[in-house]
Structure 1
């Protein structure tokens, strides 16, 4: 059983993010979902971005604090905005063994250098998602020798059942592939 430290998207720790985490748990893995926004949720990506941009450093500090109490060997995961703290940990925290990035993936130099050897990577993005900032996720997957999973369409936050952008077909594939990835970690 692997442990996934999963960071929410910019609309907050919604019931849909919790439900996504529950599906990973049902696959036999433990999942922690820290609330980086102190209970705040936002009706739109734009509203969430205004808050998230103003609190990015605090969110990363909270992510580091959440990681500090975990045993080494966990996976860091993030959905969209949550990719930043997840990728920060993957590249800078010795205890991270893998990263699962949903709806994004950024340049490694933004986090202090190349992707670390021995840290596995799995990315999930919709092929035409305007928020995913492609080709960055593609380039990250190539640099890290990671797994890039592209899904049809332009949906963003498609794994959050509480949002209009939710797509059950995509979510089922993301969950299945994430569980298989975590299974390989042991």
Structure 2
């Protein structure tokens, strides 16, 4: 099965992120889920994003890179929202990447390696995903793009009020199909 390195969103390593990782594991994949916040979890997106800015996005990427260095290079890099920063960076720059699974965010990348497939998921009216350029970045990247109706951010985290059961189930099915193609 596929080895996956999954990065959490700005709220930290929530039970919903861990539940998603468990769903992937239940399908036979090996999933590594580092805690880039070193135990901190936030209830408020603004507070979590402020914490990430205090740490520095470069530091978060380096923490992710340090975890990746201890694993096989043949990884699918995955991230929820803020976790897309290290996931997309590593998938683009680390030799051996098998793919990128970008959930609710996408960064502009003019130099995406053609041999690294990428799948992006987001809600079509999410003010962060659709309203801040992530949707445009995903289209420019040539990603396999899945849009879900609605305006929720972090809709795939089952531990949050923004969770959307139907959209999250479909996202999980599509993500698993992507991972099975990477075997």
TM-score w.r.t. length of structure 1:
0.93
Q: CA RMSD in A?
A: 1.4
Q: Distance in 1 between matches of 2:63 and 2:28?
A: 26
Q: Distance in 2 between matches of 1:48 and 1:117?
A: 33
1:22 aligns to 2:22 (yes or no): yes
Q: Secondary structure at the match of 2:6?
A: strand
- Corresponding residue for 1:170? 167
Q: Distance in 2 between matches of 1:42 and 1:150?
A: 27
Q: Distance in 2 between matches of 1:90 and 1:138?
A: 18
Gaps of 5+ in 1: none
- Corresponding residue for 1:131? 128
Q: Distance in 1 between matches of 2:140 and 2:98?
A: 16
Q: Secondary structure at the match of 1:96?
A: coil
Q: Secondary structure at the match of 2:9?
A: coil
Q: Distance in 2 between matches of 1:8 and 1:14?
A: 8
- Corresponding residue for 1:97? 98
Provide, for residues 4-26 of structure 1, a one-character-per-residue CA deviation record: whole Å limited to 9, x for no partner.
10000000001111001111111
**8 Å Cα contact 2:107/2:138 also seen in 1:** no
Gaps of 5+ in 2: none
